[in-house]
Chain A
Amino acid sequence: EIVLTQSPTTMAASPGEKVTLTCRASSSVSYMHWYQQRSGTSPKLWIYETSKLASGVPNRFSGSGSGTSYSLTINSMETEDAATYYCQQGSSYPNTFGAGTKLELK
């Protein structure tokens, strides 16, 4: 199974700050998908196929990467961005998720 390692585990960012979350795969994957989960709610598809923003996602978010290294970037942190972000690969069975990065507002 492909193991996804996210870093950092937790971080805090100030409004306006640039934020980068990373996800490393134990084997090469074709695409990486990202989900946002706020406390007490279901995960939401946030970025798909590595760099495409899901419907309604602000364009301050972006995704990039290839092979085994992927990242999600927030150009300018806003209050509403505080949440846990999970990466996920569907290139090979079983589908796997990273452990998540909890992003807090400083």
Chain B
Amino acid sequence: QVKLLQSGAALVKPGASVKMSCKASGYTFTDYWVSWVKQSHGKSLEWIGEIYPNSGATNFNEKFKGKATLTVDKSTSTAYMELSRLTSEDSAIYYCTRWTYYGLFDYWGQGVMVTVSS
């Protein structure tokens, strides 16, 4: 069955960077876009961007350009997202999801809680 297993929670200092992972299994990793979604505490969902593992092509929400960097390691079926120059506004849960046709997210990771605090 399809699974997206994300890395553990992170506590990081303001101004630092954090890199999280999303290991896919149960499907051909290179056939589907992987998207990342932010959920701030008690709030709604924001689409950050996506990466196509086969080619490395990316698309971003303008709001997150310069904030998020997306990469993949095809040999381990793992997607990564690095967030830079962190502030308290970046404290949130970050989900990786599998994006499929008609623009829907059919599988979700368990989420990574990032806390930015000195």
Contacts and interface: CB of A to CB of B under 8 A. Distances in A.
Contacts of B109: 42
Interface stretch (A57-65, A66-74, A75-83, A90-98): A90-98
Q: Chain A binding site: helix, strand, loop or mixed by DSSP?
A: loop
B108 A95 contact: no
Interface stretch (B43-51, B71-79, B84-92): B43-51
A19 interface: no
* Chain B CB within 10 Å, residue with most, of A30, A42, A86: A42
Q: Chain B binding site: helix, strand, loop or mixed by DSSP?
A: strand
Interface stretch (A10-18, A20-28, A43-51): A43-51
B96 to A, nearest CB: 10
A33 B103 CA distance: 9
A93 B59 contact: yes
B102 A96 contact: no
B45 A45 contact: no
A94 B103 contact: no
Contacts of A30: 102
Interface string B76-118: 0000000000000000000100010011111111110000000
The 3 A-B residue pairs with the shortest CB-CB distance, nearest first, are: A90-B103, A95-B47, A94-B61
Interface of A: 30-31, 33, 35, 42-45, 48-49, 54, 86, 88-91, 93-100
